[in-house]
Structure 1
Amino acid sequence: MRRPQPGVRSRVSRAIRPCLATLVVAAPAFPSPASADLTRLDLARVGLAPPPGARVPLDLELRTDGGQAVTVAAALDGRPTLLVPIDPNCRVICAPTLAILSGALMGTGLRPGRDVRLVVIGLGPRDEARTSVTAGIDGALAEAVTTVTGPPEAVARLTEAIGYTSVPDTVHGAIVHPAAFVSLTGDGRVSRVLSSLTVTADSLRLALVEAGEGRIGTLGDRVRLLCYGFDAAQGIYTPRIWQAFQAAIGLTLLGLAGGLILLHRRSRDAGHNRAMRPEVF
């Protein structure tokens, strides 16, 4: 949409690193100085940058909100999936993010639960005294959402696999994390990084069509994906499009070379025929 893994815009993911940290620091719930216990080095670590070939561990076992064991493979169910890490106690960013994402997903024209999956992973234990942030998910979508969590080491294994780094703020009982999530292919490969704060139904649809690898969406969607191969944020062509251009240039040069050879042979044959033609007096 590229390395790491075709479709992953790691450069864009770096650009959205500061978003959540800034908002958390500015949140009125955190007294000033809000991030005194978090160093700049801590905040610099926060980000979402999938490594080359990033793929989630399909055999990893987590727990649903209802306490049922579920593997990552079962949660994906072989479908293109949005994997959204959240702080389950975050009311500043995560709750609005899920509400925005819910509305955008419902506006894609795709069928949540059938065409695509939405998996929400809690980065830490939820404070049972608070309303779940997933309460902001549209009612029609709620049944298609899988909310999972697990022991810290299991959550860390999943987030590390996609290059997602968060930092705990022990003073305020919060987690400073990137305002971003990823789309996954049905077999768990990271295909795209998306900003939680700017996601739209249109961009979400294209990301899911890309992750679906031709199984969902229309021909028009796939043509648009090709057109969107130009990375406007960087002013350069993404590797997939650049390779297509290189292939087109190569074919053009081969065609020109073949044409010149053909013209040369015809010219030579014509000269030979003239030389062999008997003169008439």
Structure 2
Amino acid sequence: MTPTRSGFAIALLAALAAGPAMLRGQPVERSEPLPSQLEGVGIDEKLDGRLPLDLPFVDHDGRSVKLGDYFDGRRPVILALNYYKCPMLCGLVLNGMVDGLKQIDWVPGQQFRLVTVSFDPVETHQLAFLKRRSYLEYYAKPEAAAGWSFLTGRAPSTQAILDATGFRIRWDEDRREWAHAAALIVCTPDGRISRYLYGVMFEPKTLRLSLVEASEGKIGTTMDRILLFCFHYDGEGYALHAMNLVRAGAALTLTVTALFLAYWWRREAVRRARLSAPAA
């Protein structure tokens, strides 16, 4: 196997190393053990866990920031953990995220925020600047620049955010690369982990409903919240929940019936009033 093909194979397996991870919402069963490069690599989900918002980082412009600067209590955050010199998998994840976000009518900085953090403590803000510029060009929405930050940090901060999110990575000395799983983390506006989205392709519906769920009603339309009620996340995406659909249908039926009865009673009262009124 050539080095290029070997690298792609390892990247593909890394995308699947997180247990329920999948490329496009389809589970993949492994009959063979993972290669040694991926031993210990994966994700231990920490749903509803709080992120350490006081962690110091450096943003793409070289400014000292804290993780909490990106959580304003109003907008959910999509957190992407990768490293900027990654030869393949990180790019696939970010490309897939942007491809999905392009198809919804929300923009980073308005309804939500994007934060990309390098877990490699030797990477610099200059590299983060170049990577950000490249992805903003790919996103092709100029207003997204206000809502997408790329961060770097020293080892204590990078390790702390890995621990808080359950990301287990491993340095491959032979290949001089980090082995890691492929996932996005959707966070609440106050910095809690709401959902992990696995793989390298992300359905627009999954991204939108994940953000609505994480926002706890702070963003999205009434229809978004109805859809969120009727669908549930099953590890692959948002699937139709039959019982919730029945409940929503019953509630709609009761509402329509109540409105009809109110209209009928009012019309009947007006008719009777007219009949009982004395003739002119």
Candidates 33, 50, 56, aligned match of 1:55: 50
5 Å-filtered alignment, 1:1-281, equals 13-16=18-21, 40=36, 43-51=38-46, 53-78=48-73, 79-124=75-120, 125-126=122-123, 132-134=130-132, 135-137=134-136, 138-140=139-141, 141-229=144-232, 231=234
Q: What do residues 140-190 of structure 1 show as CA deviations (whole Å, max 9, x unaligned)?
A: 233421111101111110111011111111222211111111000011110
- Mark the CA change 1:232 to 1:139 in structure 2 (over 3 Å): closer, same or farther: closer
- Mark the CA change 1:143 to 1:85 in structure 2 (over 3 Å): closer, same or farther: same
- Mark the CA change 1:97 to 1:53 in structure 2 (over 3 Å): closer, same or farther: closer
Q: What do residues 124-143 of structure 1 show as CA deviations (whole Å, max 9, x unaligned)?
A: 13387899444134242334
1:73 is matched by which residue type in structure 2? Answer: G
**TM-score by structure 1 length?**
0.65
1:85 is matched by which residue type in structure 2? Answer: L
Report the 3-state secondary structure (helix = DSSP H, G, I; strand = E; otherwise coil) of the residue aligned with 2:50: coil
2:68 is matched by which residue type in structure 1? Answer: A
For residues 139 and 131 of structure 1, the distance between their equivalents in structure 2, rounded to whole angstroms, comes to: 17
Assess if the C-alpha contact under 8 Å between 1:122 and 1:149 holds in 2.
Answer: yes
- Mark the CA change 1:18 to 1:216 in structure 2 (over 3 Å): closer, same or farther: closer
For residues 209 and 54 of structure 1, the distance between their equivalents in structure 2, rounded to whole angstroms, comes to: 18
Which stretch of the first structure deviates more once superposed, 184-193 or 130-139? 130-139
Number of residue equivalences: 212
Structure 1 segments unaligned to the other structure (5+ residues) = 1-11, 20-37, 246-281
Which of the two has higher C-alpha Rg?
1
Assess if the C-alpha contact under 8 Å between 1:13 and 1:193 holds in 2.
Answer: no
**TM-score by structure 2 length?**
0.65
For residues 160 and 216 of structure 2, the distance between their equivalents in structure 1, rounded to whole angstroms, comes to: 26
Structure 2 segments unaligned to the other structure (5+ residues) = 1-16, 25-33, 248-280
2:104 is matched by which residue type in structure 1? Answer: T
